[in-house]
Amino acid sequence: MHNEHDMPVLTPRDDAAHGPHGTDSTDCRGCGTCCRKGGPALHAQDLDLFRAGHLAPEHCLTLRAGELARDLDGELRPLERELVKLRPRQILRQSARGGDWSCLFLNQADNRCSIYAHRPSECRALLCRDTWAIRTLHAVDRVTRLDVLAAWAEGAAERVNLTGGCADPGVPWADILAAHEERCGYGVLAPVGAVGEALRRAAENIRARDPGMAHPAPLSGEPGDPATTDESAHAAATFLDAVRFDFAFRSIVRERAGAAMEELDFLLGRTLAATAVMYGVAVRMTPEGPELVVLPG
């Protein structure tokens, strides 16, 4: 936690309005609240942590371009560029709701950071009672997956313990990530008949038809269903097609590139199924495969 100040890259302001750096007016109380809201986004100055082996790709989660993410002001907005952050303790792969978004490195028992000496730059900058440093750093030099993979590969010669598929510089990761984005990218889904908007409208129709709905309702897309239209049926089919591709692609990357499940959260980001809630729907797995449902409002 932020209970010391050892050579931060950006520190909270040391001015009269905020009190001298390190005094009671700006010191971290060690409550752990910031670490429970999700791990920090990573910046160029954090890449040395990968080169040195203090962090590994499996410690990260990628939020892909177009995915909704909470900004500093707490608003959910689609990301213009992908963002790599330290992973939370528990990621649900079929639902965006639930899970434990506390940083992987937070010791829940005493609110201590288990990599305190090697914590990323945002953790060094953040003090909840003086947000100037974190606001200044926030959008600067954020890293991509390829930046992290390059830094990890650069440090390979010095590290003793090499584990996982991400350690293999022979894997053409740039091509693999591009192939996944081509079929499952949010930017690809949006223009194809405005899939997200059509799903959102269909979900609203279904909720309007049954305002008191207590259980998830299938978004059938069946002809004759008054809640769905040709547009929403097409959107549902397109989205489910991408969901199936996403699951299959992940299996192939695991098998052929030897990537661990945790590494997939970094390499390919959260599953499309987990982020379907962006469009007001959810993916339910059935023996016949994934289907779309509308969740109660």
List contacts with ligand SF4 (CB under 6 A).
1, 35, 39-40, 86, 103, 105-106, 113, 115, 119, 123
Name which of 11 and 229 has its Cβ closer to ligand SF4: 11
Of 33 and 136, nearer to ligand SF4 (C-beta) is 33
The pair of structure tokens assigned to 206 is 């279904």
Please, what is the minimum distance in Å from the beta carbon of residue 119 to ligand SF4?
Answer: 4
Nearer to ligand SF4, 117 or 214 (CB): 117
Q: Which is nearer to ligand SF4, 35 or 253 (CB)?
A: 35
Q: How far is the CB of 34 from ligand SF4 (least distance, A)?
A: 7
CB of 134 to ligand SF4, least distance (A): 12
With respect to ligand SF4, which residue has the nearer C-beta, 86 or 276?
Answer: 86
Contact between residue 52 and residue 149 where contact means Cβ atoms under 8 Å apart? no
Compute the C-alpha angle 35/139/111, nearest 5°: 10
Dihedral over Cα of 152, 157, 162, 166: its sign = positive
Q: Report, in Å, the least distance between residue 162 CB and ligand SF4.
A: 23
Cα-Cα-Cα-Cα torsion 211, 213, 216, 221, nearest 10 degrees, comes to -50
Closest contact distance (angstroms) between CB of 152 and ligand SF4 is 18
